[in-house]
Amino acid sequence: MKKKGSKTLIIVESPAKAKTIQKYLGNGYSIAASVGHLIDLPKSRLAIDVEHDFQPEYITVRGKAKILKSLQTEAKKADTLLLASDNDREGEAISFHLKNALQQKNPRLPIKRIIFNEITPHAIREAVAHPLDINLHKVNAQKARRLLDRIVGYHLSPILWKKVKNGLSAGRVQSVALKLICEREASVESFVPEEYWSLEAELQKGKSVFKAMLIEYQGRKPVIKNKIEVLKISDSLKDAVFKVTDVRFTEKRLKPRAPFTTSTLQQTAATRLGFYSRKTMRVAQQLYEGVDIGSGRIGLITYMRTDSTRVAGSALQEVRDFIHKSFPEELPEKSNYYSPGKGAQDAHEAIRPTYVNNTPESLKSYLTKEQYKLYAAIWERFVSSQMIMAITKTVSVDFKVREALFRANSTSIQQKGYQRVLHVLAQREKGKKLPRLTIGEEVANLRFHPEQHFTSGPSRYTDASIVKILEEKGIGRPSTYAPIISVLLDRYYVVRRNKQLVATQLGRIINDLLVKSFPDVVDENFTAQMERRLDEVEENRQEWVSLLKDFYGDFKKQVDYVMDTLESVKGVMDEETEYTCEKCGRPIVKKLGRFGFFLACTGFPECRSTRSVPLADCPRPGCNGKIISRRKQGGRGKEFYGCTNYPECDFITQFKPTNLKCPKCGYFLVDKEDKQRGAYKACINEGCNYLHTREAEDQSA
């Protein structure tokens, strides 16, 4: 019980969270924000004593001294201090360093730790009523990760400066993600699509018109390589009778999906809402920290950094009561439970609404468009997870036509179940309802529909798929997925193109160097094993010092060896060209910059003339210009490709030119990608039908 007249200071991480919590506690409580880490390693040096058990040298973060001084002043006025940073490793470390810094000025001040999974009046009051000690094992796990990342970055970056280019940097986990993206890019570029055709028949019974697909021809699954073959088949079946030979009904039970974890939230927000991972976490943070909903500020969702699908018993009862009232027929006899994923720490609940009665529609007027979409997705996923399964019924009808077998399918929903609550996450219905058909019945064939396709190659990673693969491989943790992507983008090792993550030339060079020189550091299994060992530190099953010792010895030997033996590629990057500077007449060289290759005058710094690297010759007749990369809006708009003779020549294309020539007309080929073909190369000449397929490669060989 809090003594009358006493004052308690609570320190959280963000001002928004402080504003929400302040409203839940009465007089005698004051809330302040640390705004993240106040104590950390200095940026300018290693600051780790590798000779003496890797003891770190912590300092006040630059620019945060005023905040720390203000907190020390507030702490002097308090009788009790409660540290309420986020309930994860980083949050525990923030609380640990704050306690040390504040007790130096106030050695007798009682300092405790409080944790909560949601920012609601009940959760905050419960946390305040049951303060804890700081979890030193969790602090040590954060320390081990921080020092490990510092050691890797501090030693790899100078190698990149000396061997590649000044100003570059490399991170431990980011380098593994970069390797995955580069490997996928190589697969995309090497893939050559192959042409194939399908054949549908448009059938009619009475007023009902539907389609059936050719699934068997001459006793085998049809492999139709070109238009000639498909027309040969359709001609052989001309005027033939379509007779029903089989009618089958199958039932499929669709279970609801588990409530969101951090990774599944990021994946769903990317695929369904079009949100990048950074945006998803920013909006989720706003919903967690609190929104004014008219009756006051309240946290709308539970903590958004979690790998668990577990739900508190009280929340399960609340959602079952809601379903019983709103969707009584969709309430299962008992709660649905979901097993945690492989390697899940299960430290927090799944991401769910704090109050299920706060429906998305009831809050829509208080939320931004982005907040509404994400909250609706979280609410729908949670409520649907505790409803009965959906049931679909599929009817398959086979038609025998001479040497061919065609099949028509139609799926209908027999029981909506959990899908009844889905709107933002609703799946669109596919397929047309078939008329009632019986074995032996004949139907009319109106016409055939041959359709050209191309085999699809591997897709480039998106925010959703890279997060999924990182989670599957055990690389990183829920709190690090979005920052990993952001760091790669900020360093220009990766760019986004049509929402896909594409490795830049600079990124590939960095990756090649790291893969050849430090195979263990960028190995997925090695990195996943390190993540597991960090978890063991948090569980007090591994000493943080021994973890660093095991890593550092061999790593430092390899660093020294690479620094001494690796050939510098700096000189290789400055390629001679046939061009001369228009301003001073000196030779122009091809250089590698932060944003890829460019042309620069050898007279630098006296002459600072630069230009883009030509990618191809302009295809316009009579124009001797070159095609280069351009951007609108001061270099920040979408990339496109145009002629250097602009405005005299206004040729532009959105497709990136390649260094390949069309074997039919001599124009250059461009990179294209669509859902039907995947990634492929095609001629820029609109009057040329050349597609860079395997068949075309064989013909031109």
Q: In sequence order, what are the residues at sequence separation of 6 or more whose Cβ sits closer than 8 angstroms to the Cβ of residue 331?
A: 320, 323, 324, 387, 388
Beta bridge partners of 249: 395
Task: Please give the Cα distance from 513 to 675 (Å, whole number).
Answer: 34
Per the residue annotation, which of 303, 372, 461, 680 is the catalytic one? 303
Which ranges in 603-662 belong to alpha helices (H)? Answer: none
Task: Please give the Cα distance from 18 to 234 (Å, whole number).
Answer: 71
Beta bridge partners of 351: 260
Instruction: Return the sign of the alpha-carbon dihedral for residues 603, 605, 606, 610.
Output: positive
At 358, which amino acid appears? N
Say if residues 177 and 577 touch (Cβ distance below 8 Å): no
Spacing of C-alpha 560 from chain mean position? 35
Query: Tokens 């050209």 identify what position?
Result: 452
Q: Which of 194, 197, 689 has the alpha carbon at shortest distance from 449?
A: 197
Question: 284 phi and psi, to 5 degrees?
Answer: -60, -35
At 239, which amino acid appears? D
Instruction: Return the sign of the alpha-carbon dihedral for residues 94, 97, 101, 107.
Output: positive
DSSP per-residue codes, 124-174: HHHHHHS-B---HHHHHHHHHHHHHHHHHHHHHHHHHHHHT-TT----HHH
Using N-to-C axis directions, what is the helix angle for 277-289 and 15-22, rounded to 10°? 20
Active site residue 303: yes
Task: Please give the Cα distance from 151 to 554 (Å, whole number).
Answer: 13
Say if residues 94 and 13 touch (Cβ distance below 8 Å): yes
Task: Please give the Cα distance from 232 to 446 (Å, whole number).
Answer: 18
Q: In sequence order, what are the residues at sequence separation of 6 or more whose Cβ sits closer than 8 angstroms to the Cβ of residue 137?
A: 537, 538, 539, 540
Q: Which residues are catalytic?
A: 303
